[in-house]
Amino acid sequence: MRFGSVACFLFLAALMLGGGCALGPETEDFDVTLVNLVSEGSGGGVGEAALRFTIRLQNATPEPVTLTGSAHKIYLNDVYVGQALNDAKVEVPRLGTVTQDVTVHLSTFKLARAFYGVYRTQRASYRVNSTLYGTRSTLRTRKEGSIDLQGLQLPPPGNPPVPAQSP
C-alpha cells in the first residue's frame, strides 16, 4: 500500500468517525411527545403570537440522560408553526419521563392556517422534530400524534356574530 492510499484511507476514516459525532441518528430509545398547548397571550406584535407547548421527554434506556439544551420544530396539521429552543439542563431518569414547557413565537397567519378545518373538533394533528443536546451525545427524534386544543380557550363553535346595523 502506497503512502497516498494510506493517507486517503485515514482521511476517509477520520471523516466517518468525526461526522458521527456531529449529529446522531434518529433514536427509538428516546421520545418527545406533545402533551399540551396553551396560549401565552403575548407576542411581538399584531402578527405574532406566543404558544407554550408542554412536551414529555421519555427515556427508554437503562441509563439516565442529561440534556443541556434542545430544539423542537413543531408542525400543526402539516403546517410548520415554529421552533422552540430551550437551553435548560434537565435529567431524564433511566426508564423514566419528565415534562418541559417550551415556547414558540409564531406568525398568527400560520396559526390560522394550521387550525383551518379543525376549529369545530378542537383537535389538531402534530409532528415534532427534535434535536436534543446531551452531555454524551446528540439525539434526534420525530414524533407524530394529535392534541386537544382546549388549552387555547377558543370560543365555542357556532354561528359567526352578526354585525350591528346603524339606525
Task: Say which residue, 36 or 18, is predicted with more confidence.
Answer: 36
Query: Amino acid identity of 55?
Result: I
Count up the domains in the chain and report the number. Answer: 1
Q: In whole angstroms, give the CA distance from residue 42 to residue 112.
A: 16
Q: Can you give the pLDDT at residue 102?
A: 95
CATH assignment at residue 63: 2.60.40.10
Domain presence at residue 110: yes
Domain presence at residue 159: no
Q: Is there a contact between 53 and 105 (Cβ–Cβ < 8 Å)?
A: no
Q: Enumerate residues 6+ apart whose C-beta is below 8 A from 89.
A: 66, 67, 68, 69
**pLDDT per residue over 74-130, tens digit each?**
998 888 888 999 999 999 999 999 999 999 988 777 666 666 655 666 777 899 999
Q: Can you give the pLDDT at residue 49?
A: 81
Residue bearing cell 476514516: 13
Domain presence at residue 86: yes
Q: Is there a contact between 81 and 102 (Cβ–Cβ < 8 Å)?
A: no
Domain presence at residue 57: yes
Domain presence at residue 18: no
Task: Say which residue, 19 or 91, is predicted with more confidence.
Answer: 91
Domain presence at residue 68: yes
Give the pLDDT band of residue 155 (cuts 50, 70, 90).
Answer: low
Domain extent, residue 41, equals 25-150
Selection from 33, 32, 30 nearest residue 136 by Cα = 30
Can you give the pTM of this predicted structure?
Answer: 0.70
Work out the number of other CB atoms within 10 angstroms of the CB of residue 70. Answer: 24
